[in-house]
Amino acid sequence: MEELPKYINANGIINEKRLFDQLYGCGVNRRFKPVLSPSAHATIPCKLRKKEEAVIKNILSAYNNEIFQLRCVNACLELQLLYGLRISEVLNIKCNDIMRNNQIKIKGIKSSGNRIITPVKYIDYFNKCKTNHVNPFDIVNRFYIYREYKKYGINLNYDNNSHNAVTHSLRYLLLKMYDNEGVSMTDIQKQIGHKSINSTKIYVNKR
């Protein structure tokens, strides 16, 4: 079963300081020199791009405040943020994939393997979907999610691509955090669901 990131508590609230520490300040593979922030967020790296910092704050605000009108979009954001799921993996979740122990079976696609995850804030939503035999994301598609994320500033550029990543930005951030924590490549591969460790290395090397 997938483990929850350390920056989220049992009530599904993200600790912003801990998230920034894990992304940029702490860990065996420290790449940035942490500096004290004038705000209450403790360590903000001196080399952190303003754009990236803003995106992360947008993600935290959207998740902690359940900002999207549709509950299923908020649930989608949680699964992507906590487990780095592809948008296609999230939208492919069926009511029969929701297990009685509050866990969800994720059917891997492309270069991902199957895995088991546990929602935090939206356990009740998924359980209601199972009880009512309703697929949790049937009323939305990837384009709707894309537009909603982009509307609230959830998009990120890496490797100087011509287009910003939107729904994929959450997967990239999770991988970056694991790498900065010093998590082994094999463990990152297992957590993110890659079948090939080469796919994991490609992600980790993106900057």
Alpha carbon distance 180, 120 (integer Å) = 24
pLDDT in tens, 90-134: 999 999 999 989 999 998 777 667 888 888 889 999 999 999 999
Q: How far is CA 68 from the centre of its chain?
A: 16
Alpha carbon distance 188, 144 (integer Å) = 29
**Phi/psi of residue 184, nearest 5 degrees:** -65, 155
pLDDT in tens, 81-92: 888 888 999 999
pLDDT in tens, 155-188: 877 666 656 788 888 887 777 777 777 778 887 7
Assigned domain for 173 exists: yes
Residue type, 35: V
Alpha carbon distance 89, 177 (integer Å) = 21
When pLDDT is averaged across residues 41-59 and rounded to a whole number, the result is 59
Candidates 189, 158, 162; CA nearest to 175 is 189
What domain range includes position 111? 16-204
Query: DSSP letters of 101-133?
Result: TS-EEE---TTB--EEE--STTHHHHHHHHHTT
Assigned domain for 171 exists: yes
Give the count of alpha carbons within 13 A of 59, CB side only: 29
Q: In a 3-state reduction of DSSP, which class is residue 85?
A: coil
Assigned domain for 4 exists: no
> In sequence order, which residues have a C-beta less than 8 Å from that of residue 15 and are 6 or more positions away?
7, 8, 9
Rg from Cα positions in the chain: 17
Assigned domain for 178 exists: yes
Assigned domain for 117 exists: yes
| Cβ atoms of 172 and 203 closer than 8 Å | yes
Assigned domain for 10 exists: no
Domain count, the chain: 1
Assigned domain for 101 exists: yes
pTM: 0.73
Assigned domain for 166 exists: yes
What is the CATH number for 108? Answer: 1.10.443.10
Query: DSSP letters of 168-200?
Result: THHHHHHHHHHHHHT--HHHHHHHHTBSSHHHH
Alpha carbon distance 60, 183 (integer Å) = 23
